[in-house]
Structure 1
Amino acid sequence: MTTTDNAPALTPEQKADIRRRYLAVDTSNVADVLDTLGFMDQSLAADFAPYPAHNNRIAGWAYTIRGQKTPYPLGGDAEKMKACHGVGPDEITVWSGDGEGVCYFGELIALGMKERGSVGAVIDGGIRDIRWIGEHGFPVFARYRTPTQSIGRWKVNAWQVPVVMRGATSRTVEVSPGDFLLGDEDGVIVIPARVVETVLLEAERLTRTEVAIRAELASGLSLADALAKYGHV
């Protein structure tokens, strides 16, 4: 993993374990923890959605790819292929750029990513081949769907650099290589690399508390009594 902002170096086994544990917590709890740490604007815009809708849970380490609208002859984007070849296990490709209206990501890229151990993609742009990506069980969150390909219209110009994605409470959210992304039914959130483990531990604590509250409510405890016992969660 690329280390940023004094983030600790982690072994592949540690990265895989952290990803597995994040899959057991909700973005809402992660967002609350980030607020307490002073990271108030880490959620991506509300129009990021899972495609297909049932592939609605994603977690992994950020591998960033950036592009821009650039007319060029049909025949493929060699830089896009180079960028994709660097993706590794437990990583999510994070796509950023100004290619409004075109598809950055389709079935063949998804298959190539999956072969390399990638666990999903988050795209500030378009996706196509949605039915087939769903058949392959490869989770993707994107801002929109479109049948229009990027070839001849949009070209990759950098990868594994900080990128910006449209934000929910701010105009943009910066994502650096080695940050962590979590997505579920509530949306997608970015956890800076240097606080990934701190956020996870507290999100797991909140999750255990919520599990206890739900069990007591199901057993007849009133909401008022639950709030008095557990406080705000």
Structure 2
Amino acid sequence: MSDKAPLDAAGREAIRQRYLAVDTSNVADVLDALGLPDQGLAPSFGPYPAHVDRLAGWAYTIRGQMTPFPLGGDAEKMKACQGVSPGEVTVWSGDGEGICYFGELIAIGMKERGCVGALVDGGIRDISWIGEQKFPVFARYRTPVQSIGRWKVNACQVPVLMRGATARHVEVKPGDFILADEDGAIVIPADLVEKVLVEAERLTATEVLIRKELSQGLSLAEALAKYGHV
């Protein structure tokens, strides 16, 4: 167990902002080097709307399952969403297919609590309206079909499984870090968040130098000889 004191709110936000400046590809390379090759999420996860900003934040997990129930709302979903804190990304997991896990109104409520986006192993709707809220969402699909009467939240802030890229599932625990951009989404374990960030920033700085020198006439072969594989 780490002897480091827990980060305060300012420290957590500082790390989140730094992650917004690195790419998932560099984070994936760092995780590979650390012996964690299966942290990437399935290629079907994508941004909604398509022009959404990248997603970065601390995981707040929500789990549900297909459960027929009377219309009238999902009290457990509302309760779960009320626990979200600033700087967190809601991570939605469950067996729902063809239905949305949430739409515009829940997104507004989460944003009011300081939530910085959502990662959804399922569907969303009200995409254009969520986009107007500038609330980044990465999900597997979109659908007009609501979850009420079909899919119900059964837990929050527990480890959840999300569909993976190189493994069937990726486990996400509360407090892990989520990063998503044009290349996809990836999960950084909580105890490695700072270590991975520092190395990803180093790779990013190296890539900036390589691009600059390539633009000034350095050949690719010369760049690889000088900087090695990046």
What CA distance in whole angstroms lies between the structure 2 residues aligned with 1:110 and 1:77? 15
**Given that residues 182 and 190 in structure 1 are in contact (C-alpha distance below 8 angstroms), is that contact kept between their aligned partners in structure 2?**
yes
**Map of 1:137-216 to 2, 5 A cutoff?**
137-216=134-213
**Alignment correspondent of 2:87:** 90
Query: CA-to-partner distance for each residue in 1:118-177, whole Å, 9 max, x for gaps?
Result: 000000000000000011110000000000000000000000000000000000000000
Q: 2:77 is matched with which residue: 76, 80, 96? A: 80
Q: Unmatched 5+ residue regions in structure 1?
A: none
What CA distance in whole angstroms lies between the structure 2 residues aligned with 1:148 and 1:7? 47
Q: Unmatched 5+ residue regions in structure 2?
A: none
Q: Structure 2 length normalisation: TM-score?
A: 0.98
**Alignment correspondent of 1:114:** 111
**Alignment correspondent of 2:227:** 230
What secondary structure sits across from 1:65 in the alignment? strand
Aligned length: 229
Judged with a 3 Å threshold, the aligned counterparts in structure 2 of structure 1 residues 212 and 171 are, in CA distance, closer, same or farther, namely same
Shift in Å at residue 223 of structure 1? 0.7
**Alignment correspondent of 2:102:** 105
What CA distance in whole angstroms lies between the structure 2 residues aligned with 1:54 and 1:132? 13
What CA distance in whole angstroms lies between the structure 2 residues aligned with 1:153 and 1:6? 42
Q: Which amino acid aligns with 2:77?
A: K
Q: 1:135 is matched with which residue: 132, 136, 144? A: 132
Shift in Å at residue 20 of structure 1? 0.1
Shift in Å at residue 7 of structure 1? 8.8
What CA distance in whole angstroms lies between the structure 1 residues aligned with 2:22 and 2:96? 33
What CA distance in whole angstroms lies between the structure 1 residues aligned with 2:22 and 2:84? 25
Query: CA-to-partner distance for each residue in 1:39-97, whole Å, 9 max, x for gaps?
Result: 11000000000000000410000000000001010000000000000001000000000
What secondary structure sits across from 2:210 in the alignment? helix
Q: 2:29 is matched with which residue: 27, 32, 43? A: 32
**Runs ≥4 in structure 1, deviation > 4 angstroms?**
5-8
Shift in Å at residue 99 of structure 1? 1.0
Judged with a 3 Å threshold, the aligned counterparts in structure 2 of structure 1 residues 43 and 50 are, in CA distance, closer, same or farther, namely same
Does 2:10 align with 1:21? no
Judged with a 3 Å threshold, the aligned counterparts in structure 2 of structure 1 residues 102 and 6 are, in CA distance, closer, same or farther, namely farther
Q: Which amino acid aligns with 2:58?
A: W
Q: CA RMSD in A?
A: 1.0
Question: Percent of aligned positions with the same letter in both sequences?
Answer: 76
